[in-house]
A = this chain, B = another copy of it.
Amino acid sequence: MTADDQLQVVQDYIRFISSHDLDAVLALYAKDAVLEDPVGSDPLKDPEAIRKFYATAFAMGISAKSTGETRCAGNSVAFPFCICVKLGDNQMSIDVIDVFDFDESGKIQSMKAYWGPENSKTEPIPKTS
């Protein structure tokens, strides 16, 4: 798996999160993948639990945006991005760093999301007239 391949997965991941394409996101994962979001919570190992995790997030209307360079290292990547959710007249944004470990076929074997309450802020959505 080249760095270009890894960068493509990250780009696809962020795009599919924002377009709420559940099947496309799940297709990036290995069948025996483990997802820990946030790090410190119980890891999800069951494909159905991982599907439900994203389905719930998409139902909340989340979107994702890259906020810096993806770092490719060995079979892993780490990348900073922002998750946004509209809450009534406000918008909550969370600055996250995700780490993916890839398996030999280029699928995400492990996903760890690093973020805490300190990385979240809620602001009014600017009104357009």
Contact = CB atoms under 8 A, between A and B. Distances in A.
A68 B71 contact: no
A48 interface: no
Interface size band for A: 20 to 34
A40 B97 contact: no
A59 interface: no
Interface in A66-113: 67-69, 71-80, 95-97, 99, 113
Nearest to A94: B71
B3 A71 contact: no
B40 A76 contact: yes
A7 to B, nearest CB: 8
A113 B73 contact: yes
Nearest to A69: B95
A99 B114 contact: yes
Given A69-B95, A96-B71, A114-B99, A76 B119 contact: no
Interface of A: 3, 7, 38-41, 67-69, 71-80, 95-97, 99, 113-119
19 contacts: A3-B116, A7-B118, A38-B73, A38-B74, A39-B76, A40-B73, A41-B74, A67-B68, A69-B119, A71-B97, A71-B114, A71-B115, A71-B116, A72-B118, A72-B119, A73-B114, A73-B116, A79-B97, A99-B99
